[in-house]
Amino acid sequence: MVKAANSRGTDPGTPPRTRILVVGGGYVGMYTALRLQKKLRDGEAEVTVVTPEPYMTYQPFLPEAAAGSISPRHVVVPLRRLLHKCRIVIGEARSIDHAKRTATITTLATDEEGAGPTEIEYDELVLAPGSVSRTLPIPGLADYAIGFKTVEEAIGLRNHVIEQMDIASSTRDPAIRDAALTFVFVGGGYAGVEALGELEDMARYAARYYHNVKPEDMKWVLVEASDHILPEVGPELGVYTIRELRRRNIDLRLETRLESCENRVAVLSDGARFPTRTVVWTAGVKPNPVIAACDLPKNERGRLACTAFLTVEGVEHAWSAGDAAAVPDITAQEKGRECAPNAQHAVRQAKVLADNLLAALRGEVLTEYAHKYSGSVASLGFHKGVAHVYGHKLKGYPAWLMHRTYHLSRIPTFNRKMRVLAEWTLSGLFKREIVSLGSLEHPRAEFELAAGGGPKDPPKKNGG
């Protein structure tokens, strides 16, 4: 195991700089590092950000990226450009020994070097690795399903849906055609409803360019274990969303679970069976595995136990917020309630966390995090949406417009805002793109074929 070099100041008369390690480059990690970068005094501290990807993904725009309304590169924010005063390490934290103030990291070069993981020493830890998809031991799920948390998954799903329409258009086998045109989404939260709404809308539009595929030939199924969907927007708008989806002939099954998707057949708890080549899993998230591999206190659900000051409970020099942190909601009337693991809280928590960390370094008073939930917006496709903001309920086009306006104001950097706005403007003036670029996932296949070796079998994905 190799120890990474850490700058502690070279001038004997100068006190060593505080080493701040930020684990995670999502909402909390990026915004915390950005605020520290702006407010740290010269020579006061150095900030290292460890993240698996060199960008932050603005996840609320993933459904629109999947539908082709926004280019994939415009829903991500490059960290090296934004955090130019921080040290960026592209890698993953495998474990953290806070008692020794060390984090074990693997990078893209770890296997090449053959020297094993790297240890990074720190003085202050900001642990914000986010979450990963929470899966269940359902037969066939790992082999055939796809998630919807990353930009790669969103674009892969878009390519896959169009590819299934191509298969259905060209096959003479009715069973293959039916399976290709059946799309099953599991999970009735934001990710599932927005992804289904946008992709169904995109596929409905694309069908006009196929001579033998019509919108009514496609079967879209949404499976939800509870008796409602989109709980964040309230029961009234949840019921409206159910009506809107069913009006579009989407088969919505409440109080139903996916029991198996082996052999490309989705079997539901109500006895229904759907031969399908597409199962999209959006049924919840869980803390990143590094949380379990650290020596910090956790609650019964595996999230870091935190205080309202965004410190880790009972531990000094450790901070956390976002999906991986159980932060008490001091604005709630019910005792013991925690802040919801969503972007609205994460962005605001990052600001308080950075300010409190600076206050701790300077011996100043810390501030509690308190934010009353302002509401939610959700897109259900082009010109369709629901919104419940500050007590006001909107449906249809006004809600869709509010969804776009709100998220345009929230995506980081002026550069990204203008690029997204330009793409929306162009998409309003010109027709949608309906091309599948699935071959991008296997860029060497054509060359391997030309070289005489033949293309290697691609890994099983999306049931394809």
At residue 457, the pLDDT reads 60
Question: In percent, how much of the chain has pLDDT > 90?
Answer: 68
- CA-based angle 362:367:372, to the nearest 5? 155
pLDDT at 171: 96
Residues 6 or more apart whose Cβ sits within 8 Å of residue 248: 200, 220
Residue 464's pLDDT is 47
Q: Work out the pLDDT band at 299, boundaries 50, 70, 90.
A: very high
Query: What confidence score (pLDDT) does residue 4 get?
Result: 52
Count of beta carbons in the 10 Å neighbourhood of residue 181: 24
For the chain, the residue count is: 464
More confident residue, 232 or 257: 257
Question: Is the per-residue pLDDT at 445 higher than 50?
Answer: yes
User: Residue 461: pLDDT above 70?
Assistant: no
What per-residue confidence (pLDDT) applies to 259? 96
CB 230 within 8 A of CB 399: no
* Whether the predicted pLDDT of 9 surpasses 80: no
> Which has the higher per-residue pLDDT, 111 or 205?
205
Phi/psi at 93 (nearest 5 deg)? -80, 120
Q: State the pLDDT at residue 185.
A: 97
CA-nearest of 62, 71, 58, 60 to 432 is: 71
The reported pLDDT for the residue numbered 151 is: 92
Least confident of 50-64, 315-329, 357-371, 422-436: 422-436
Which residues lie below 8 Å from residue 266, measured CB to CB, with a gap of 6+? 184, 221, 258, 260, 273, 274, 275, 276, 279
Distance CA 254, CA 223 (A): 6
Query: What was the pLDDT predicted at 328?
Result: 93
State the pLDDT confidence band at 178, using cuts at 50, 70 and 90: very high
Round the average pLDDT of the chain to a whole number and report it. Answer: 90
Buried b (16+ CB within 10 A) or exposed e, 285-307: bbbbebbeebebebeeeebbbbb
C-beta of residue 48 within 8 angstroms of C-beta of residue 40: no
**Residue range 377-423, pLDDT digits in tens:** 899 988 899 998 877 889 999 999 999 998 999 898 899 999 999 99
What is the per-residue pLDDT for 47? Answer: 97
Q: What is the largest CA-CA distance in the chain?
A: 80
pLDDT at site 285: 85
Q: Closest Cα partner for 233 from 60, 384, 345, 387?
A: 387
